[in-house]
Structure 1
Amino acid sequence: MKQFMIKNALVLTGGAMQGLGMGLFLFPNSIPSGGAGGIAILLNYWFGISDGLALWIVNFSMLLLGVNYFGKRFVLWTIVGITMTSVSIEFFEQSVSVPDRNLMVDLILGSVFLGTGIGMLMRQEVSNGGVGVVALIIASGREILPGKPLFYINCLVFLITAMIIDWKIILLAFASQWISTKLVDYVCNLTFHQAYTLGWRKKP
């Protein structure tokens, strides 16, 4: 029970920090946080769906693809994480305002919170959802690391988002990805509680 409570607290905290970075800093500037974030921005742009709900829809849809590969426990914990992220995005977008926004400050702060949140989730073997699940499926099937397919999928989404909304988005998205992935590596190397090992494994 203690292990469960600690894992639950870390997953919720990681999801909240990810939502803080996206909802308060990145999404108000239409900066995609990744492939799922880019699709969420497009859904908001086309249909007026709120960013938090759009991200949850994208994440949940992608996650359904992963249940046969990684098992129900992986999916349940990831649902907890992505739901917390979406709730946090809704809260920060609707309840917190940032006066005199600065694009570069928002980019850096948003990417730092995003990377820290994702790192906390990954230390608990919980996906941050979205196209990361697709990348893990591809990596599992081809027995490669997930970084390369994730990079290519994100790049494709960034390109489409930039073509539809604004070309400067792709530069901001790449900068955000660089900062946030550095933070993911840093958090994953810290010494603090993790309930399971870091190795992604296909379910038996």
Structure 2
Amino acid sequence: MRGFWRKGGLVIAGAGIQGFGMGVFLFPHSIPSGGAGGLAVLINYWFNLNIGFSLWLVNFLMLALAIKYLGNRSTAWTIASITITSLSIYAFQHLIDVPQRNVLIDLALGSIFLGIGVGLLLREGVSNGGVGVIALIISNSRNTLPGKPLFLINGCIFILTASIIAWEIILQALLSQYISTVIVDLLGRANPGQSYSIGWRKK
């Protein structure tokens, strides 16, 4: 039971921290936080749908496609993480108003918070969303850290997003991903005994 509450606390913290970075610093500039974030930005751009809900919808649909790789327990934790993240984005966007913005400062701060949040989730074997599921699968199969596959997959989605909205987004998004994935891997190396594994899943 103690392990459950510890894991639950870290999942809430990780999801809330990444939601803070995305909602307060990245999304106001339409900077995608990742592959799912890029798709959420597009949905918001096309349909004017709340970006927090758009992110939840994209993550839920991608999770449904990958559910066979996760199993019941990991799926439940992942649904919790994407729900808390989306609610955090919505809450922080309405509670925190940044009067003067600088895109580079916001990009750096948002990426650091994003990396911390994602890193905490992945250390607990919990995906931060759709693309995180794929990164966990790849890192598990190749016995490697998840930062590189996250960067490569997200890069493809950034190109699509930038081609539709504005090309400068791709540079901002790639820089954000570089910073955040460095943080993800730093957190992974800080706890070498923790494996990014989904092998314990229940089928």
TM-score over 0.5 for the pair: yes
- 1:26-45 aligned at under 5 Å gives the runs 26-45=26-45
Q: Distance in 1 between matches of 2:166 and 2:180?
A: 22
Residue matched to 1:92: 92
Q: Distance in 2 between matches of 1:190 and 1:178?
A: 18
1:149 deviates by 4.9
Query: Contact 2:151 / 2:178 at 8 angstroms: preserved in 1?
Result: no
Q: 1:41-89 deviations in whole A, cap 9, x for unaligned?
A: 0000000111100000011111112221121111100111111100000
Residue matched to 2:51: 51
**Secondary structure at the counterpart of residue 71 of structure 1:** helix
Name the count of aligned residue pairs: 200
Query: Contact 1:65 / 1:134 at 8 angstroms: preserved in 2?
Result: no
1:197 deviates by 3.9
Letter in 2 for 1:14: G
Q: Distance in 1 between matches of 2:148 and 2:179?
A: 17
Residue matched to 2:171: 171
Residue matched to 2:82: 82
- 1:1-204 aligned at under 5 Å gives the runs 1-137=1-137, 139=138, 143-144=141-142, 149-191=149-191, 197-201=195-199, 203=201
1:148 deviates by 5.5
Which ranges of structure 2 fall in alignment gaps of 5 or more residues? Answer: none
1:134 deviates by 3.5
Q: Distance in 2 between matches of 1:183 and 1:200?
A: 21
Q: Distance in 2 between matches of 1:166 and 1:3?
A: 45
Q: Distance in 2 between matches of 1:52 and 1:98?
A: 18
Q: 1:84-106 deviations in whole A, cap 9, x for unaligned?
A: 10000001112211011011110
Q: Distance in 2 between matches of 1:96 and 1:198?
A: 33
What RMSD in Å do the two structures reach over aligned CA positions? 2.2
1:140 deviates by 8.1
Q: Distance in 1 between matches of 2:126 and 2:38?
A: 21
Q: Distance in 1 between matches of 2:111 and 2:18?
A: 9
1:7 deviates by 0.6
Q: Distance in 2 between matches of 1:67 and 1:172?
A: 31
1:147 deviates by 5.4
Query: Contact 1:70 / 1:202 at 8 angstroms: preserved in 2?
Result: no
Q: 1:148-177 deviations in whole A, cap 9, x for unaligned?
A: 654343122101110111100000001000
1:136 deviates by 4.2
Which ranges of structure 1 fall in alignment gaps of 5 or more residues? Answer: none
